[in-house]
Amino acid sequence: MNGFRILPAGDSAFAVEFGDTIDRIVSERVLTLAQLIERAHLSGVLETIPTFRSLMVAFDPARVAFEALARTVSKLAEPLVAFARDQAPSFREHRCWRAPACYHPDVAPDLEAAAARLGLSMAELAARHAAPSYHVYMLGFLPGQPYLGELPESLALPRRETPRLRVEAGSIGVAMRMTCIFPRATPCGLNVIARTPLPLWNPTQTDGLLLQPGDALRFVPVSLETFESLGNADARASWRWRDDEAAE
């Protein structure tokens, strides 16, 4: 699909679909459209929800008709299909985060097996996984859970044949070209190769999400001792979570 299409989703939402692949150019179009809609303050729009390749637009049908809103959103979307990755305008702050990640079998139940399957040592797997700056494509599955790409091709693994019934909060899993951080304990079919104390979601706050689609995140390898110490609130407060220099 070279352009975009609008797909109704019930009587109070529609999706603007920009493609059928997961890549940064499609993601930039999705995120830029969300920014344009927000800046336009369109009547009746309640929320926009970015996904890998589309933007869900929720609206109040008592305030705006689907046809009228779809026409307006189409006009905003049309110029975006011509943008290359470095041409798309960006109106929101480009935030970069530093997440401490412990690559140790005591907190990463699949680390040893994943390294063996890839023909790497556990230290080599950790170094390669922590090397990129990851793009937050979307949030989903659990509140605040980021889908991060792209995982280096040399680390691409299939999902586990048998999902685990429980992985701990902060578990970092990999499968195919994606890596995810699970903000709470959950069943999981990904290969868990690390864990982070990064606080992704605070349910006691109105806007309790830490990461947002379009943010960047780097993993910083830490020892098991440091990981355990970051369970303390004072130690977490001393960690430099934001990488403001990278954002400039």
Find out whether the peptide bond into 150 is cis, omega within 30 degrees of 0.
Answer: yes
Two structure tokens written together for 46:
């309640």
| pLDDT given at position 196 | 96
Per the listing, tokens 């603007």 go with 16
Q: What domains lie within the chain, and their CATH numbers?
A: 5-82 (3.30.1360.40), 96-247 (2.40.100.10)
Q: What SS3 class is residue 222?
A: strand
> Which uninterrupted H or E stretch holds 72?
helix 66-77
**Overall average pLDDT of the 206-233 stretch:** 88
The dihedral through the CA atoms of 84, 87, 91, 97 has a sign that is positive
**86 pLDDT above the threshold of 80:** no
Q: What's the rounded Cα separation, in Å, for the pair 202 and 222?
A: 23
pLDDT tens digit string along 16-25?
A: 999 888 989 8
pLDDT band at 139 (very low <50, low <70, confident <90, very high): very high
Q: In sequence order, what are the residues at sequence separation of 6 or more whose Cβ sits closer than 8 angstroms to the Cβ of residue 16?
A: 4, 5, 6, 30, 33, 54, 55, 57, 73, 77
pLDDT tens digit string along 23-51?
A: 898 999 999 999 999 999 999 999 999 99
Residues of the chain above pLDDT 90, percent: 74
| pLDDT given at position 248 | 45
205 vs 71 pLDDT, higher one: 71
Question: pTM here?
Answer: 0.89
Residues of the chain above pLDDT 70, percent: 90
> Which uninterrupted H or E stretch holds 188?
strand 186-188
**Overall average pLDDT of the 164-180 stretch:** 96
C-alpha dihedral (69, 43, 84, 244), degrees to nearest 10: -150
